Structure 1
Amino acid sequence: MKYNNDQVRRRDRLLTEARAREIVYEAEYAVLSMIDEDGMPYAIPVNHVWDCSSCIYVHCAPEGTKLKAIAKHPNVCLCIVGEVNLLPSKFTTEYESVVIRGLAKVGLNEEERMRALRLLINKLSPEFKQLGEKYAQASFHRTEIIKIEVSEFSGKCKTVHKTN
């Protein structure tokens, strides 16, 4: 995964690569954005898991808008939000965010699909691994996995300095 902040306008708000990777790894959900089959923008929240290399996995039903969109336009964007702190009296928000760009693929072999499901279980339900394994096996036939091969990612944050 290439960390590339060249397109971030506010150079004073760059997130370190190390923190960006933590957010990708730890965040519980992201917003997957794509172009639907009619050429319109389409974004939807998803659970994701990073393989700690160059791929992000997302699970979904074996049919639907996401899969139709990816079949026609496989380039996608994933936005992940880290820490957020609303500051109403200052009319601003402190935040961290990571934007990932990549190529989405479906139709993975059974071994990779099951590996992705296990990664999701380990991330989102670590205290229920045995039960998660049974559930994954039982629902495997009605689960699709989207693999996002990450081309690059960037990170941005805003911190408000406290004044006395």
Structure 2
Amino acid sequence: MITNYFDLFNLPEQFDIDLQKLKAQYQLLQKITHPDRFVNASDQEKRLYLQKNAQVNDAYSVLQSPVKRGEHLLSLRAYKLADEQQTMGDTDFLMQQMQLREQLAEAESSSDFAALESDINDLTTHYIEQVRSQLATQTDDANHQAAQTLTKLKFLLKLESEAQLRKEQVLEDD
């Protein structure tokens, strides 16, 4: 059975969450479960609180990330996520990715990278809005669509990371 991270942080089980409340709950749970509080406890209790603390850290990481949070919601709904290696059948998205990758390969200046970052941010915002709407519906079809949109978001986040690295390399040489 999967641990419900929303329950752990006393948050509603939905895509939109209060990130300030998440942070406050994280800090509280960290204080409660931190292993340093249990230096005089038995080895078994120490292991238990170490596991609880690790679970709190994992849950916080998942709930902070829109992609991981969406995937967690789908897993709580018993929706099986596609394998990472599975190819995407959305040809429009694939064409868009090829154009963005070409834009990245050709970027040579700060303005080139700024334009690319803007395009990626616009698409990321668009897909997050789609996921928000799809996960709010809570139907099998909407869950399937949300899973596909989350896959697109992963591609964009990976591209964003690659763009940042390339930007540092290209602009560092100037």
TM-score category of the 2 structures, normalised to the smaller one = under 0.3
Instruction: Normalising by structure 1, report the TM-score.
Output: 0.25
Q: Give the structure with the higher percent strand.
A: 1
Instruction: Normalising by structure 2, report the TM-score.
Output: 0.24
Q: Give the structure with the higher percent helix.
A: 2
Report 1 or 2 for greater relative contact order, CA contacts < 8 Å, sequence distance ≥ 6. Answer: 1
Give the structure with higher Rg (CA). 2
